[in-house]
Structure 1
Amino acid sequence: MLHMTAGEKVFQFFLILFITLMSVAMLYPFIHLLSVSLSTPAEAIRPGLHVYPLEFSLEAYNKTFASSQIWIGFKNTIFRTVAGTFLALFMMALTAYPLSKKYLPHRSFYTLFIVFTMFFSGGLIPSYLLIKGIGLINSVWVYVIPVMIQTFSLLVMRNFFMEIPSELEDSAKMDGAGDFRILLSIILPLSKPIMATVGLWQAVNHWNAWFDGMLYIQDPSKMVLQMFLRKLIVSGEEQEMNAIMNQAPGVEIVTPETIKAATLMVATLPILIVYPFIQKYFVKGIMVGSLKG
């Protein structure tokens, strides 16, 4: 700041002000929900800004965690997120590695063929008929198998692999290593930034997804947490709300507002907790993976 001109200082001031206002605008809904979820019913329905609970209560969380539907949704969502992220990374690495090699025959054709699917798809009805034809209707694997390959993530991973010096692979081949051994022992250990970046994308997508569950799942025991949230909040179904509010009866009462806020916080916090552990890889992975075409 000491070496800036007057114009640069003015620009820096408004830039910081703009970023601060944007941060507040994005953080306030989260803070509001947290405050409402920790408030008594009377405080939760109070009009105005909710920054912190004036009357503290954990009853909404007690009733939320006492609901069996929450735990069923958690179990299926965790399975979907863990299995879906791992299989997606594995399958995309197997696809991106050969596409990153210039000596692959017809590499441009294969790449264009894959890119085509990013802009055009068969549509909802053909997709449903395909899922039904391969027997994934009402199966938990419908959350994982159809989305193992994400075109954009695949291309970013391929571009990152192209930046790895080919001399490392040549030396490994001289020692007798095959392509699969090179991928597992050399390429993937050097690709932690892009694997963490793509893994974060996949984990967030799986954790927040609900539309495929609405289309293909009828068994309540196989529904993910986001499907339950949609029924609770968007559809406004009283059956799910009453099922929670009638759990674990106690002295305190709860309202639909506190239950919704507590349920949203329970569904949001786990994926937020994961981000700080891979944030250091995120910027490097996305920058390097997007440079080379």
Structure 2
Amino acid sequence: MTILVASDLDRTMIFSEAAAAMPTPGVHDLVCVEHFRDQPLSYMTRAATGLLREVTDAALFVPTTTRTVEQYRRITLPGGPHRYAITSNGGNILVDSRPDEHWRAVVELRISDSGAPLDHVTGELSRRIDASWVHNFRVAEELFCYLVVDLAAVPVAFVDEWTQWANDRNWAVSVQGRKIYTVPVALCKSAAVAHLRSRLETRPECRDGVTVVAAGDGALDAELLQYADNAIRPRHGELERIGFHTPGLQITAAKGAAAGEEILRWMLALTAAHRVRGRPFVGQTATEPEP
């Protein structure tokens, strides 16, 4: 049995220094895994870096993030480089760091066939915001958009009202830290994971099937956690705030970077029984089949 571990990154595997320390200030022994403009940005605990290497040895670890390709490439994850990654909330599947153009075309067709177009959404959003509380308004790879905001200054009714407007047009809204994402419902991580799973199942090495293990903390991870055969979320973040549950879902006891460690230990326990010794692991050295 092949284990595909699809894990969100920010606030699930990697953390800002402040987020890593919640709820206990002064967490030490952090290892920087991302720099931006020569400044340290994201961290894991030293223990987590070792655990992630073990998970990568035991399973096919697939970083699965809402970050764009460019933002994802700033991260140096232990155990990498990873053969596959899913970025842009499922909009891109990277194979050996290169976007799969076939999958991107499939995604664009799905989005165009459902919901309001991106320019309509961004135009409406522009009319509802102002510089007193929005620091940045960004369009990500012509797929979705997000705001970087001053959370304390966001108008009280904005998120609820914007969510309702977006939902009526088949878009979803997610608040993750200082970012407010607006994403087409057709753009989802689970679809990309399902596509990758189906490709792996064509391989002789995967004749016994592919089991999906998933982790995530935000509303944009909810459908991935529902899709997975085994799923876990940390006891912090957007899903914790809304009280998200799905059958079989595990929830960590810890918060912050300690939750990241707990998630990795749980993943290791699941994959330990399926470790294949003495042969290359599927997906890391085998030839990639045609899509």
**TM-score, normalization by structure 1:** 0.26
Q: Identify, as 1 or 2, the structure richer in helix.
A: 1
**TM-score, normalization by structure 2:** 0.26
